Chains A and B, each alone.
Chain A
Amino acid sequence: MAYDLSMRVWRGDRTGGELVDFVVPVEEGEVVLDAIHRLQSTQAGDLAVRWNCKAGKCGSCSAEINGRPRLMCMTRLSDFDESERITVTPMRTFPVVRDLVTDVSFNYEKAKELPAFAPGPPDQDGKRRMQQIDVERGQEFRKCIECFLCQDTCHVIRDHDDNKPAFAGPRFFLRFAELDMHPLDTHDRRKLAQDAAGIGMCNITKCCTEVCPEGIKITDNAIIPMKERVADRKYDPLVWLGSKIFRRDQREEL
């Protein structure tokens, strides 16, 4: 089923760019990244694209294919009609570096703001004990390959750069939830999730869940429970009472 695929690829840099048309021969079983690589090796040697594993495990080759945020290595050409033209553009939420490569440093900056895992002491034999059922919640979130497609699709920051300083995005709500649900973590992360990470700005449209290539239920299993925990604390009558009757320096802040 080898055929000539029509492609439209965004080419340019920070100063601007345009969609460029290509026709590239493709083979049975190939994915969009194969077509891009063939362009690179035969027609456009300097076409910039980020990729590593080509097996859906590293989350490097994120882009928008016909407008939808996807991994290029996991998007099979057989999902499209042979006559259909495939358009590949860089992730829109992040500044373009060149061609399909974007500056995703926003995510690495947000990662630095998260307080690290803080376990209590181990058991007497030096080991730590947790039950499988308790680690499984966190394990779902730790499947995240940091492709940042959830960040890309999130409308809070997609077209609103001004929200970026106050909003960490779905990838990091996942991380907050993971740590908050970790059986051994000793921090209370609820206030931080609310204040510093801006979880309140999320209005659970579930776009992030839809684009997650790992199938993580970001909204249902991480964001909503995290919002509930934040709310539980904020409206806990004892915490509220404490904020009224204790001396200022002894109060837990709401």
Chain B
Amino acid sequence: MTDTTAGGHGFETHAYDVVVIGAGGAGLRAAIAAHDAGARTAIVCKSLLGKAHTVMAEGGIAAAMGNLYADDNWQVHFRDTMRGGKMLNNWRMAQLHAQEAPDRVLELETWGALFDRTKDGLISQRDFGGHRFARLAHVGDRTGLEMIRTLQQHAVALGIDVYMECTVTDILKDGDRVSGAFAYWRESGRFLVFETPTVVLATGGIGKSYQVTSNSWEYTGDGHALALHAGASLINMEFVQFHPTGMVWPPSVKGILVTESVRGDGGVLKNSEGRRFMFDYIPDFFRGETAETEEEADRWYDDKKNNRRPPELLPRDEVARAINSETKAGRGSPHGGVFLDIASRREADFIRRRLPSMYHQFKELADVDITAEPMEVGPTCHYVMGGVEVDADTGASIVTGLYAAGEVAGGMHGSNRLGGNSLSDLLVFGRRAGLNAAYYVGRLGSKRPKVADDAVKAAAEHALAPFSEEGGENPYTIQQDLQDVMQRLVGIIRKRDELTESLEELAKLRERARHLTVEGHRQYNPGWHLALDLSNMLRVSECIAQAALVREESRGGHTRDDFPKPDDTWGSKNLVLTETGGEISLNEQSLPVMPDELRQLFEEK
């Protein structure tokens, strides 16, 4: 480590083979893989280690281990995943994911994870929306915590360097190749330069651009924006998942996630008339595998062979839209949601044992006892399917040396992600990205890219820009206005004139953000941090709105009021976004073609 000055701004320098940005499931798994492959590896994360958004995942990790249903296998999981994504998924990613997830789960157990067990002592698996069999390895309803703690403890035991509360603001390049990353310490505001031929983006999602979201403050689309700026492409950005069940009351907790496990474990959705309304919203695409009567749906929990799945367990996009329609039709709950009832369907003991965090969360934050009364729930912005376009096998973006894994990568989930497929995605593709970054460094030999002084100087000036203007606007106000625009105009149901309006509004916000003012100094200053995050949020929001305007159909996490049906022509195309000279451009691109042996899986019932 050396202390240097460039353009008058001091910074420290660190050299690595692989720098992973983000310490959630994907980042930790990537770092472990890169380390195991012999690369000098560092993790750089915005928060303390172990606090990343993965910690909030509740339901479980989808993996066709067949511990409860011997008929489950990767082909069934692959098929469920593709159908859940309305066939827009990158087939190769969905295949690798389904094939490798079981090994990744067993690996966690070898590193100390304590999953719930079956009677035979194997890892237990639970039901979730869109999955034909009970498939989610879980620990009560705090699976994400178990996963992040296991990976964190393993990474610490391996001695991987971790730069906590450290934020990357620029990817540095030498010609066409990645040469490093520029960052600041939260605590001191001082700068760091990482000299590294590879960067693995594992920065998660974009939810903080919306008003009602289950995402934490870190979810500001940093990786998406860094990738675009470095010359990589984004795909599927129009697809944003609104989780059907977020808390709606009291206002301060609006958006906090209510796990799908409530429905997986027997909970049902009801409107103000007491009707299980999901039976009214079964789409033709899923009719063959969905129960038509309450009796059949209730029998399914114990006998999956002879009964079909309850409609409450349709993929998330279907359920979220249904809830939206019910509340719009005036059949909502007192606080603008619908009722999620497990109290009348399962014993109190069972609920407390299977859903301890939900019990605690409602009791503490809403004075609701979920073993005695229904919850009120409504859609909340939860996940972005879109992300960096990557090679399925390696996680490599189109920029040499830049990799992406987890939520920040696109393609795996198509137009809609199934519950439980996120945690497995993090493990499978985190590992692949980390390994392949390390392999690339091995192949480089002595031809390592160099960090240029002027690039560092430019990065420092970019980071300090928010301090340069006086009398400008407060970044918090601009963020609130951005959230309002995205929620109102680019939300769960979209239409052309609103999307057009959103792009105009976003342009105004961008202009306002150029003239914001930050109080105080560089030491642990949240106003400054927000000002930097805000430019990422604005960039990503623009990508979402642009792609949403162009895709004239409804599919998965993209619903157009003016084009309410899926369209086969659109069903074979991705929208690809790139940045040139500070402007976003958008192109259509054909989906990769699935080989026949996989295609056959969709012809059988």
A25: Cβ under 8 A from any B Cβ:
no
A29: Cβ under 8 A from any B Cβ:
yes
- How far, in whole Å, are A55 and B214 apart by their CA atoms in the complex? 9
Shortest distance from the beta carbon of B407 to any chain A beta carbon, whole Å = 16
A-B contacts at CB below 8 angstroms, number:
166
**Contacts of A28-82 to chain B: CB distance below 8 A:** 28-31, 34, 40-42, 44-60, 74, 76
A247: Cβ under 8 A from any B Cβ:
no
- Tell me which residues across on chain A come within 8 A of B154, comparing CB atoms: 116
- Establish whether residues B256 and A54, one from each chain, have CB atoms under 8 Å apart when the complex forms: yes
- Establish whether residues A112 and B156, one from each chain, have CB atoms under 8 Å apart when the complex forms: yes
Tell me which of B49, B114, B518 contacts A108 (CB under 8 A): B49
B357: Cβ under 8 A from any A Cβ:
yes
The digit string for B99-132, where 1 denotes a CB below 8 A from any CB of A, is 0000000100111101111001111100000000
Shortest distance from the beta carbon of A155 to any chain B beta carbon, whole Å = 24
Category for how many chain A residues contact B:
35 or more
Tell me which of B50, B218, B249, B475 contacts A146 (CB under 8 A): B50
- Establish whether residues A48 and B524, one from each chain, have CB atoms under 8 Å apart when the complex forms: yes
- Tell me which residues across on chain A come within 8 A of B49, comparing CB atoms: 108
- How far, in whole Å, are A40 and B528 apart by their CA atoms in the complex? 12
- Tell me which residues across on chain A come within 8 A of B157, comparing CB atoms: 115-116
The digit string for A187-211, where 1 denotes a CB below 8 A from any CB of B, is 0000000000000000000000000
Count B interface residues, CB 8 Å. Answer: 66
- Establish whether residues B114 and A49, one from each chain, have CB atoms under 8 Å apart when the complex forms: no
Which of B13-21, B84-92, B145-153, B315-323 makes up part of the contact surface? B145-153
- Establish whether residues A60 and B252, one from each chain, have CB atoms under 8 Å apart when the complex forms: no
Write the chain A residue with the least CB distance to B517: A45
Known A56-B361, A127-B106, A182-B114; contact A40-B51, beta-carbon cutoff 8 A: no
Which of A128-136, A162-170, A225-233 makes up part of the contact surface? A128-136
23 residue pairs A–B, Cβ–Cβ below 8 Å: A28-B250, A29-B251, A29-B366, A45-B475, A45-B476, A45-B519, A46-B518, A54-B253, A55-B361, A57-B56, A60-B47, A111-B153, A116-B157, A119-B112, A126-B106, A127-B123, A129-B120, A129-B121, A132-B117, A135-B115, A135-B117, A142-B114, A142-B145
Binding site for B on A (CB under 8 A): 13, 27-31, 34, 40-42, 44-60, 74, 76, 97-99, 101, 103-104, 108, 111-112, 115-117, 119, 122, 126-132, 135, 138-139, 142-146, 179, 182
Binding site for A on B (CB under 8 A): 47-53, 55-56, 106, 109-112, 114-117, 120-124, 139-140, 142, 145-146, 149, 153-154, 156-157, 164, 187, 216-218, 249-253, 256-257, 357, 360-361, 364-366, 474-477, 480, 518-521, 523-528
Known contacts A46-B526, A55-B257, A108-B48; 7 further A-B pairs (Cβ under 8 A): A40-B476, A41-B477, A41-B480, A45-B475, A101-B187, A116-B112, A116-B154
The 6 closest A-B pairs by CB, nearest first: A29-B250, A46-B520, A129-B121, A117-B112, A116-B157, A41-B476
